[in-house]
């Protein structure tokens, strides 16, 4: 009893500073005292059930403050089945993950989903059960425990916008249970759905057109924003919010540290709107943030907001009332590949100006490639200043990065190609998009070296940004496109499987042999990772700015932190480039540890420079 009393006092102490805001926001949405009381009781339940080891982990994380914004952070993203077949398989390969320098491990959706109707695991049929082919919840907890011993945080997707049509709620709804139909959006006919369609854009107009599906068993229309087998949840129903928050906390109590809120902007629907980024979404995310702070304060929320910066940044909330601690820097990713194809840094500089102006407390996840396609949501108003209009420029980017453009060594494929709109997105691994695949196929050693240089330069640029850099598993060894998906009837219609191939462990075995392409790439990337981890100038708290290079083919970034100044230069052209900077001081080249001048710098194709200047002597 004494222990329980102590637990009660800790819970009350955590709840107290949030209680008034929790109740205000909850009642503003639902005006339901009974549901709110249930919500608070549910938080207490999951607080009581939180294992002692995870409570200690919470204490360690909260004492460390903004640990996730420091230069020692490096993430890796993977599909469990592709990387190591099972959750236990991932645990058996933690030595490799540590060798890569990774301390943030993001496992793609691994909860139970129906095969062939899962959208890569994003149609969850049970939020409390690991897909049996991958393991069990016990296996996931064991993996998390081992990760924590090694100082690795575990990230998992939480698909909160919808469930699978096979989820228990959906099964009961199909059978006509009005309570469960109220957890989704069911309509007797197409009258209201047709009104929604007037203002709600289609997510996948070619592969899954429309936002509603007729369900014959229920004899009703159901909202399905993404795919017909993914039924949108109705968060205007407090039972949905309460139970989904409970599902999230259940995962946290099994060791998940970072919760990726999938499709965050979509979770509130309202007739007459585009059902994106509505104010109620921010209320829900803020409520979930507070719930995590009360039950499991070592937990971070990662918002999946794949939109332009003006739509993304509000999901950080404010410094006083935060929502997500982490957000994806998707615009920089897309702008990076635009720069690779266009050989001009103008758009990238324009975009980085926005990022560098944000408060340092805002932490982005930065990446070159991920499990998804590359969408060309660029600032076309800015591009039109140089006469680059949207449809023909998208075609150029796609032609270049699929290798159709004369002289291009990129090897990608289109995704969701819509010839009617002149629109398509792009797929491919980093190595294939920078030309490594073409060089290997042609057995051209000089071309291979140039492609590897470009790959390393892009990673150096990635590591120069503030936030958490994330590698897609396989990029560290230059894994190429996997064309075998064309032969799989469950995958062949989705070109994203081009870059979702199985991890090639036979190639990984070559990572320490500098004579192989895997060794050449792995060794150079590991060197960059090690430098970044030990240099405070890469911390998220550093000042960052664009360095004017006078050359649109070379990007310049400056960083300053605690007496150290960094100049980073990155050549995006296919030729040698020289830049002239107004910098008289003598710097240290971080890769050679030798003195250098940055007043006049010549970079080879795909070349880069990290040069540091120390203004103050370190304390003895």
Residues marked as catalytic = 262, 304
User: What CA–CA distance (Å, rounded) separates 43 from 45?
Assistant: 5
Phi first, then psi, for residue 603 (nearest 5°) are: -120, 135
Residue 186 CA from chain centroid, whole number: 32
432, 426, 431, 405: which is closest to 343 by C-alpha?
405
Write out the H or E segment, with its range, that includes residue 569: strand 564-571
- For 72, 237, 512, the CA distances from 531, given in Å and listed in that order, are 9, 50, 18
| Neighbour-count burial of 600, counting CB atoms closer than 10 A to its CB (0-12 exposed, 13-18 middle, 19+ buried) | exposed
467, 462, 484, 475: which is closest to 429 by C-alpha?
475
CB-side neighbour CA atoms (13 Å) of 114 = 12
User: What CA–CA distance (Å, rounded) separates 549 from 496?
Assistant: 36
> Within 486-581, where are the H helices?
505-508, 517-534
Residue 29 CA from chain centroid, whole number: 29
User: What CA–CA distance (Å, rounded) separates 477 from 479?
Assistant: 6
Residue 229 CA from chain centroid, whole number: 24
- For 90, 346, 503, 603, the CA distances from 523, given in Å and listed in that order, are 22, 31, 18, 21
């Amino acid at each position: 009893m004494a222990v329980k009393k102590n637990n009660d006092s800790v819970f009350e102490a955590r709840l107290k500073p949030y209680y008034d805001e929790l109740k205000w926001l909850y009642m503003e949405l639902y005006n339901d005292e009974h549901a709110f009381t249930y919500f608070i009781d549910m938080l207490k339940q999951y607080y009581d059930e939180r294992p002692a080891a995870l409570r200690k982990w919470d204490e360690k994380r909260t004492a460390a403050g903004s640990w996730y914004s420091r230069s020692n952070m490096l993430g890796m993203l993977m599909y469990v089945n592709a990387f190591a077949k099972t959750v236990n398989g991932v645990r058996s390969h933690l030595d490799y993950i540590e060798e890569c320098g990774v301390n943030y491990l993001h496992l793609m959706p691994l909860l139970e989903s129906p095969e062939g109707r899962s959208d890569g695991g994003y149609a969850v049929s049970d939020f409390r059960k690991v897909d049996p082919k991958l393991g069990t919840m016990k296996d996931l907890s064991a993996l998390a425990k081992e990760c924590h011993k090694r100082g690795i945080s575990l990230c998992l997707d939480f698909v909160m916008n919808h469930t699978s049509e096979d989820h228990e709620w959906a099964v009961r709804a199909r059978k006509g249970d009005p309570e469960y139909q109220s957890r989704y959006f069911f309509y007797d006919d197409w009258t209201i759905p047709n009104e929604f369609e007037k203002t709600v854009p289609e997510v996948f107009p070619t592969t899954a057109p429309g936002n509603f599906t007729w369900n014959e068993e229920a004899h009703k229309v159901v909202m399905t924003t993404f795919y017909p087998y993914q039924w949108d949840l109705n968060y205007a129903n407090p039972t949905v919010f309460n139970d989904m928050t409970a599902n999230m906390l259940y995962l946290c109590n099994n060791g998940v540290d970072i919760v990726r809120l999938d499709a965050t902007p979509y979770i509130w629907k309202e007739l007459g709107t585009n059902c994106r980024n509505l104010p109620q979404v921010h209320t829900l995310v803020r409520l979930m943030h507070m719930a995590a702070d009360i039950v499991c304060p070592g937990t971070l929320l990662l918002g999946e907001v794949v939109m332009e910066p003006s739509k993304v940044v509000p999901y950080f909330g404010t410094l006083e009332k935060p929502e997500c601690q982490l957000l994806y820097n998707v615009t920089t990713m897309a702008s990076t590949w635009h720069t690779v194809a266009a050989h001009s840094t103008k758009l990238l500089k324009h975009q980085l100006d926005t990022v560098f102006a944000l408060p340092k407390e805002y932490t982005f996840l930065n990446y070159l490639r991920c499990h998804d396609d590359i969408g060309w949501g660029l600032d076309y108003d800015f591009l039109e200043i140089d006469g680059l209009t949207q449809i023909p420029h998208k075609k150029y980017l796609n032609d270049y990065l699929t290798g159709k453009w004369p002289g291009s060594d990129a090897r990608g494929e289109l995704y969701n190609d819509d010839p009617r709109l002149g629109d398509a997105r792009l797929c491919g691994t980093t190595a294939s998009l920078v030309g490594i695949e073409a060089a290997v196929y042609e057995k051209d050693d000089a071309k291979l070296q140039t492609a590897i240089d470009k790959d390393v330069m892009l990673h150096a640029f990635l590591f120069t940004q503030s936030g958490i850099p994330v590698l897609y598993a396989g990029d560290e060894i230059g894994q190429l496109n996997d064309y075998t998906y064309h032969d799989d009837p469950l995958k062949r219609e989705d070109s994203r499987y081009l870059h979702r191939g199985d991890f090639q462990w036979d190639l990984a075995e070559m990572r320490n042999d500098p004579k192989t392409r895997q060794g050449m790439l792995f060794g150079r990337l590991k060197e960059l990772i090690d430098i970044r981890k030990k240099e405070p100038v890469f911390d998220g708290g550093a000042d960052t700015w664009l360095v004017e290079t006078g050359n649109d083919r070379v990007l310049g970034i400056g960083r300053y932190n605690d007496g150290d100044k960094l100049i980073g230069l990155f050549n995006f052209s296919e030729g040698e480039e020289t830049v002239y900077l107004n910098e008289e001081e003598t710097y240290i080249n971080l890769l050679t540890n030798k003195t250098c001048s940055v007043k006049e710098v010549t970079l080879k194709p795909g070349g880069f420079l990290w040069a540091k200047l120390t203004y103050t002597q370190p304390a003895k």
